[in-house]
Amino acid sequence: MPLSASGSGGIEASLLNTLEEGDEAIVCVNGWFSDRMWEIAGRTPAKVTRVEVPYGTTVNPEDVRAAADGRITQIIGLAQGETSSGVLTQLAGFRKVADELGALLIVDAVASLAGVPLNVDRERIDICFSGSQKPSARLRACPPITVSPAAEEVFRNRKTKVPSWYFDLTTAMNYWGKDRLYPPHAAHLAHLRAARSHAPGPGRRP
């Protein structure tokens, strides 16, 4: 689904739709934008654990496992490509830990989508968002976001309303899904058209 926002809107939508009071969350921080994910998560009522490494390095999945200490965890969030440094994180180890903890895996691909290989389904990413103006080289303010069936189930089974009306993904899913209900806000139609016209194809940037 496209959002009407910057890439940071993808961070906010991912976290506000998944976290409620009583939930446990782990955010991996290795730069300014993964720090922003932690900051946004901290504004939810969930208990958020920060797993941090020095700038320019990557978090070890074993450190995430240790931080969880066996507790059921709602989400693990990290950046595949940290926008501030360009450091690339391999995702397979985090998926394994997420499975052990019953967690959704949230991946920031703002600086990596269309720049490095990323297969959301094969790597079993539950929520993945990107920016429209980075490696994919499209107009700003139309970031894509995708959610797994497991994430959608979490959205629809919330005990409380999503604390943001604008970033409530259930309304967006109702619009883009089979129900085709009225959109939650006006879409950037010119941006959507440009995104479609710049989709990867023969002779185009992958």
Per-residue model confidence (pLDDT) at position 154: 97
Q: Which residue has the higher pLDDT, 175 or 167?
A: 167
Per-residue model confidence (pLDDT) at position 124: 97
Whether the predicted pLDDT of 82 surpasses 50: yes
Nearest to 12, CA basis, from 33, 40, 34, 39 = 40
Q: What are phi and psi of 98, to 5 degrees?
A: -60, -40
Per-residue model confidence (pLDDT) at position 54: 97
Tell the burial category of 155 from Cβ atoms under 10 Å away from its Cβ (0-12, 13-18, 19+).
middle
Query: pLDDT confidence of 3, banded at 50, 70, 90?
Result: confident
pLDDT digits (tens, 9 = 90+) for 52-79: 999 999 999 999 999 999 999 999 999 9
Per-residue model confidence (pLDDT) at position 4: 78
Query: pLDDT confidence of 183, banded at 50, 70, 90?
Result: low
Whether the predicted pLDDT of 16 surpasses 90: yes
Whether the predicted pLDDT of 129 surpasses 80: yes
The answer to whether the CB of 129 falls within 8 A of the CB of 108 is: yes
Per-residue model confidence (pLDDT) at position 139: 61
Antiparallel, parallel or unpaired: β 47-52 and 75-79: unpaired
The answer to whether the CB of 194 falls within 8 A of the CB of 138 is: yes
pLDDT digits (tens, 9 = 90+) for 139-174: 666 778 999 999 999 999 999 999 998 899 988 777
- Percent share of the chain, pLDDT over 70: 80
> What pTM does this model have?
0.86
If you ran DSSP here, which 8-state letter would residue 181 be given? P
Q: Which residue has the higher pLDDT, 77 or 131?
A: 77
Q: Which residue has the higher pLDDT, 125 or 171?
A: 125
